[in-house]
Amino acid sequence: MPSALAVTGVTKRLSGSMVVDGVSLEVPEGSVFGFLGPNGAGKTTTIRMLLGLVRPDSGSVELLGARGSKIRSVLPRVGALIEGPGYVPYLSARDNLSRLLAAEGVRRRDRAAAVEAAIERVGLGSAAGKAVGRYSLGMRQRLGLAGALLRDRDLYILDEPTNGLDPSGMREVRRLIQELAASGKTVFVSTHLLSEAEQFCSHVAFMSQGRLVASGSREELRREFPAEVVLRVSPETAVLSRLGIRVVEADAAWARVAVPEDGLPSAVSELVAGGVSIYGFEGGQRSLEDIFVAEVGEGFDVR
Amino acid sequence: MFADELRRVYRRPRNLVILLLVAVVPVLLGVVVKVGGGPRHGGGPPFFAEITQNAVFLPVAALASMEALILPLSVAIVSGDALAGDAANGSLRYLLVRKLGRVSVLNAKAVSALVFTLTIAAVIAGVGLVLGFILFPGGQLITLSGQAVSTLTGVFDVVLAALLVGVSMFSVAMVGLAVSSLTSSSLAAASIALTVAIACEVISAIPQLSAIRPALLSNYWGSYVDLFRSPMVLGGVFKDLLEQAGWSALFYAIAVITFSRRDILT
C-alpha cells in the first residue's frame, strides 16, 4: 500500500534537549493511524515537522509523496489540528475560518459555503457569529476540528482531537474519524488516551521520550505481543523467578503473574508442581496499554 | 489574505483604542488652546503658536506633538503584534500550514501594519482639521515664509504632512515586524521597536555623535515643517523618504529571513 506519510530518521533538538530522536514511521493510505504516547513524548513536535512548521535537524519527511520545499504544494490536501485550536480571539468563528481559507487562496465570495458546512458539521451553528474568545474549551476544540474539516482533504492530521470535549463530544469525534476513514481518507491521530485509540485505530505507533518504541498495524502488534493470561497466585516469589514467569504485581497476600496464552497449560503444571497455589484467571487480549508497559517498562503517565 | 489581515488589525480592540486615544490629542490641544490661549510666538513644539491663527494649524500641531513618542509607540504596538499576536493565540501555525506560505503571510501583515500606520496619522489630521475649522478661523493663512496662501492650499498641505508623518513611521513599523517575527510576545516586540525609535532620537540629541545623525531613522522626522513654506522646500522630505525606504527595506528583509527559517513552536 502506498504511504500517505513517511518519516525517516527524524531528529529534533530543542533548547538543548532531544525532543524527537531518530523517529521513522510510515502511515499507509486509508489507515487510521494512532500516534500514541504520554504527554511530552515528542508527538506534537513530530507533527509540526510533518507540516513544515519545524525544521528537522536530520532525517526526512514525505507528505503525500512530496518532500522538502514541495511539501507546501500538497498542504491543501491536508487538514490539520495542531496542538489544540488556535484562533484570533476577537474575531468570530466565521471570520476565523474564512481567514484560513484566505491562506489557501480561496476568494472571499467562494468561502461562505465551506465555512457554513464546517460549522454545521461540528455543531457550532448557534455560536458561529460570536467572538471566539468567549467560547468554552469544548467549543474551541470544535472550532479547531472545523478548521481541519474546512475542505475535503486526503489526509487529516489530528493532534489530540478529543481534548476538552465532554463524553458526547468525544463520541462525535470518534464517529467523525470513522466517517473519514470509511470514505477512504487517511487519518493520522495523536492521543494520550489509549482507550480511545483501541476504539478506532487500524495502525498504531508508540512514542516515549522522543523515541518510537513500537509501531505497526493492530494485527502485527497482536502477533508481536501475543495475548497473555494473568493468573492470581500465592506470592512464592522464589519459585516464580526460578520459572521465569513475569510478575505484574505482588504484595504479601497475592501475586499477579502473566503468561502467554499458548503456554498456559505448561505454565500451570509448572506452577502447581512448584507448590504455587492458583486462585484465579484474568485475561486474553493485551490492551495497547499493556503493550506500552511491556515495551517501555513503565506506566503511561507524564514524566 | 491581505483583506483578512486588515480585518484582523482593524477589529483588534487594542488597535481601536489606539485610534481613539490618538484622536483625543488634537481635541485636547484644540480645546486647551481655545480656552487658555496659545503660547507666545516661538513657544512650544512646531506650530503651537500658530494654532489660534488658522484652522489648519491644529492638526499639524497635533502631529508635531505626537511624532516623538506617541506615534512611534502606537505604531510599535500594532506592528509588534503583527506576527507575535498570532503566534501567541496559536492561529499563526494554522495560517502557515496552508498553501500561501510564510512570505505571503508576512507580506499581508507588513502591508496591514503600514496601512494602519497611515490610518493613525489620518485620524489625527482628520480630527484636528474638523475641530480646527470649528474652533479657529479659516480663510487665508500665512506660511512660514510669510506668504499668504488659500485655505485649500493649507488643507492640501495638512494632508501631505499627515501622509509624510505616517510614512516617517514606516521604519518603526518594520522594526516592529522584524522583532515580531522572532517572538510570540507582542509586548516584547513593541517595546523593542519603541526602544529603537527613542534610542535614535536620544542619539541625535548628543552633539558628539552628530556624525551618524543622518543615518538615524528619526533624523528627518521634522521635515514636514518644510511643507508649510512657500514654495515648499522638499530636500528634507526626500531625505526622509529615502531614510524610511532604506530602513524599512532592511528590517523587512530581516523579517523575511528570520521568519522563513524559524521553527514555529506556538
How do residues B75-88 score in pLDDT, each as one tens digit? 999 999 999 999 99
* pLDDT on residue A274: 87
Of B71, B220, B55, nearest in space to B151 by CA: B55
Cell of A43: 508527538
pTM over 0.80: yes
Q: Is the peptide bond before B137 cis (omega within 30 degrees of 0)?
A: no
From the list A260, A256, A262, A245, the residue with the least C-alpha distance to A278 is: A256
Contact A75 B92 (CB under 8 A): no
- Per-residue pLDDT at B43: 64
**Distance (Å, rounded) from C-alpha B138 to C-alpha B142?**
11
Rg (CA), chain A: 23
Look over chain B and give the mean of its residue pLDDT values, rounded to a whole number.
94
Q: What residue of B is the nearest CA neighbor of A45?
A: B265
* pLDDT tens profile B214-227: 999 999 999 999 99
Mean of all residue pLDDT scores within chain A:
88
Give φ, ψ of A55 to 5 degrees.
-90, 125
The answer to whether residue A159 scores a pLDDT higher than 90 is: yes
CB count in 10 Å sphere of residue B229? 15
The helix (run of H) or strand (run of E) holding residue B188 is helix B186-204
Q: Which residue has the higher pLDDT, A192 or A116?
A: A116
Q: What is the structure's pLDDT at A303?
A: 41
pLDDT tens, residue by residue, B142-177: 888 888 899 999 999 999 999 999 999 999 999 999
Distance from CA of A132 to the nearest CA of B (A): 11
The predicted model gives A219-226 an average pLDDT of: 82
Distance from CA of B83 to the nearest CA of A (A): 12
**Interface contact B4-A99, CB threshold 8 A:** yes
Nearest Cα residue in chain B from A72: B99
* DSSP 8-state symbol, A192: S
Q: Would you call B172 helix, strand, or coil by DSSP?
A: helix
Q: Which of B11, B99, B264 is closest, CB to CB, to A72?
A: B99
Residue B172: the pLDDT is 98
CB atoms within 10 A of CB B84: 26
pLDDT of amino acid A230: 84
The residue that leads in pLDDT, A227 or B71, is: B71
A180 interfacial to chain B (CB closer than 8 Å): no
- Cell 495638512: give the residue: B158
Q: Percent of chain A beyond pLDDT 90?
A: 50
d(CA B177, CA B182): 9
The tens digit of pLDDT for each residue in A4-21 reads 999 999 999 998 899 999
Q: Is the pLDDT of residue A284 over 80?
A: no
Q: Is A94 on the interface with B (CB under 8 A)?
A: no
